[in-house]
Structure 1
Amino acid sequence: MPATETFRIPKRRQHVSTARQRIHKALADWGITDELAYAVTLSASELVANAVTHCRTSYAQVEVTLTLREAELLLEISDPDRNTLPQRHDSGPDEEGGRGLALVEVLADAWGCRQEPYAKCVWALFALVRMEGAHVPSGL
């Protein structure tokens, strides 16, 4: 049976660090450390920051779900602005932002987004065996 951690944060910049801390703790509780934990935490931080920045729904919450299944970890970030889908673009050297999805693309084995009836979800998939030092925790 997969292990799952789901929580919500208010759509405010100051809560991105809260999401990052909760994700880091969940990964540590599952025995996931080193490069994989870093890649997942950094990807989550970028995707949560994107949701907070680009969601046009007032007083929204961002939902974060981590699902650990046998040899993979699925990260899902959802917000209620279902019509604003992420678009990866190449940022110029002088631009301050716009590199988050490119970073997720490098760190994750796959990523994408989907529209749901009342939300959109941006997801990233990580193989547990790909990263050096990563392992599938016992009992899963």
Structure 2
Amino acid sequence: MPETETFRIPKHRRHVSVARNQVRKVLAGWGVGGELADAVTLSANELVTNAVTHCRVSHAQVGITLYLQGPYLFLEVYDPDRDRLPAPRACGPDDEGGRGLALVGRLASAWGHVQQRHTKCVWARFTLGERPERTHVPADL
């Protein structure tokens, strides 16, 4: 089994589902299922949605990398708008958006971002074999 999978999608909302389905397929191929697969897939959905929504580079592509390293599974989402860094924001109960990074923060064991020469990378780390209660999403999100 390969320990790294990378793919790209066009920076358009209609391709978010393509990314989500590809993540699910890679995880299934690696034997990752259940709540951990759900947490990684939902996190990928949120990070890819943020990338396609906030990237201001025309005709860009969004890169998605999944890899296994020791007891961890990493999800990385790249886009070429390196100066627009993600930041969690406070949301009211009636707001329709703005909870994605908070959700990733609850699902992953850690997350962050890195500015690279031509891109930025937003990443999330998941512990393989996590107990389901660690990936539970509280009702306050």
Q: TM-score, normalised by structure 2?
A: 0.91
Aligned residues: 132
Cα distance between partner residues in 1 of 2:117 and 2:50:
20
Give the structure-1-normalised TM-score: 0.92
**C-alpha distance after superposition, 1:112-135 (max 9, x if no partner):** 000000000000000002234xxx
Deviation at 1:20, TM superposition (A): 0.3
Match of 1:52 in 2: 52
Amino acid at match of 1:24: R
Paired position in structure 2 for 1:22 = 22
Mean Cα deviation higher: 74-83 or 122-131: 122-131
Q: Deviations over 1:32-81 (max 9, x none)?
A: 00000000000000000000000000000000000012311000000000
Equivalent residues of 1:2, 1:70 under 8 A apart: no
Separation (CA, whole Å) in 2 of partners of 1:112 and 1:85: 10
* 5+ residue gaps, structure 2: 133-141
Provide the residue aligned with 2:65 in structure 1: 65
Q: Which amino acid in structure 1 is aligned with residue 61 of structure 2?
A: Q
Q: Percent identity?
A: 61
For 1:14-42, what per-residue CA distance to the aligned partner results, in whole angstroms no more than 9, with x for missing partners? 00000000000000000000000000000
CA displacement 1:61-105 (0-9 Å, x = unmatched): 000000012311000000000000001011111110000000000
Unaligned runs of 5+ in 1: 133-140
